[in-house]
Amino acid sequence: MIGLSPKQEATVRALGLRRMNQRVMHEDTATVRGMIAKVPHVLRVSHEA
């Protein structure tokens, strides 16, 4: 991912994202929320029912 620090890139990859416009689903846990909080400028988060 261009423009991200190595730690930010590692966080994005740990969330399972490899390419632009890719979608993944995760359980709503404190760990996942913390990872999202580290890179909010890179992600778009939506809540599924």
Q: What is the CATH number of the domain that holds 16?
A: 3.30.1390.20
pLDDT single digits (tens) 33-42 = 999 999 999 9
- Which of helix, strand or coil describes residue 3? coil
pLDDT for the residue 38: 97
How long, in residues, is the chain?
A: 49
Structural domain that includes position 3: 1-49
Q: What is the pLDDT of residues 1-41, one digit of tens each?
A: 788 999 999 999 999 999 999 999 999 999 999 999 999 99
Predicted TM-score of the model (pTM): 0.85
Residue 47, pLDDT > 70, answer: yes
**Number of domains the chain is built from:** 1
Question: Residue 49 has what pLDDT?
Answer: 67
Per DSSP, the three-state class of 13 is helix
